[in-house]
């Protein structure tokens, strides 16, 4: 989906940068639409994010996101608004505008990857994706919490819960071929025992 915007057009360069930054930084929509040019440190390719409760965090950008953002900033020109991502009129992009563009690019991506058509892709899904990538890379839920700007680990745990079918598929992928997935069926005797002890 990150490659859905056309990189040969001005809008495509903008949308590509926006999607990459949204996924890479795991930003809330308000954080993404509120990101200002002054919040970007070009030499280190990091961004300063002002999140909920006025909590501030600085995040490095992954290489693809940094490249996409550099490409956008190179053609952005002088716009009256300080926000990085703007609409066709040069005004700050709204949260509804971002959600609309996300739906459009998800539909475009689904033409090449039909499996995407069955998935519900929302701004929150991009944030969840980032959480899972950071968790996989670090193995530390506290780092995910810092990355996403959460006040508590409880909030982060909700983001890092994977779909049960994905977990089962991942477990099956590492099982020896002679073992197959099964479903546990308790006996009537076990059910009766559990009822008596509860």
pLDDT single digits (tens) 49-84: 987 877 888 998 989 999 999 999 999 877 788 999
* Residue 161 belongs to a domain: yes
pLDDT band at 181 (very low <50, low <70, confident <90, very high): low
Quick one: how far is CA 136 from the chain centroid? Answer: 14
* Residue 42: predicted pLDDT: 83
Question: 10 Å Cβ neighbour count for 150?
Answer: 21
As a whole number of angstroms, the distance between CA 59 and CA 61 comes to: 6
Q: Which residue range forms the structural domain that includes residue 87?
A: 10-173
Confirm whether 191 is domain-assigned: no
Q: In the numeric block, which tokens belong to residue 95? A: 């949260």
Q: Which of 7-11, 33-37, 162-166 has the lowest mean pLDDT?
A: 162-166
Does a structural domain hold residue 141? yes
From CA 114, how far away is CA 97, in angstroms rounded? 24
Residue 192 lies in a domain: no
Whose tokens are 């689904």? That residue is: 110
CATH code for the domain in which residue 132 is found: 1.10.443.10
Which H/E stretch holds residue 195?
helix 188-197
The overall pTM is greater than 0.85: no
- Residue 155: CB atoms within 10 Å: 13
> What is the spatial distance between Cα 19 and Cα 5, in angstroms, rounded to a whole number?
9
How many domains in the chain?
A: 1
**Is 25 inside a domain boundary?**
yes
């Amino acid at each position: 989906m990150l490659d859905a915007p056309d990189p040969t057009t001005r809008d495509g360069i903008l949308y590509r940068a926006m999607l990459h930054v949204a996924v890479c930084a795991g930003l809330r929509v308000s954080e993404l639409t509120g990101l200002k040019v002054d919040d970007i440190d070009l030499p280190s390719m990091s961004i300063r994010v002002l999140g909920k409760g006025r909590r501030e965090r600085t995040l490095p950008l992954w290489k693809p996101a940094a490249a996409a953002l550099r490409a956008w900033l190179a053609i952005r020109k002088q716009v009256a608004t300080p926000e990085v991502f703007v609409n066709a009129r040069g005004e700050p992009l709204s949260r509804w505008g971002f959600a609309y563009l996300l739906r459009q690019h998800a539909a475009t991506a689904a033409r090449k990857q039909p499996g995407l058509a069955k998935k519900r892709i929302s701004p929150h899904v991009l944030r969840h994706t980032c959480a899972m990538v950071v968790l996989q890379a670090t193995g530390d839920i506290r780092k995910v919490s810092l990355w996403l700007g959460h006040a508590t680990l409880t909030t982060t745990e909700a983001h890092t819960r994977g779909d049960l079918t994905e977990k089962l598929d991942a477990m099956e992928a590492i099982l020896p071929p002679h073992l197959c997935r099964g479903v546990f069926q308790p006996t009537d005797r076990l059910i009766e025992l559990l009822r008596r002890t509860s």
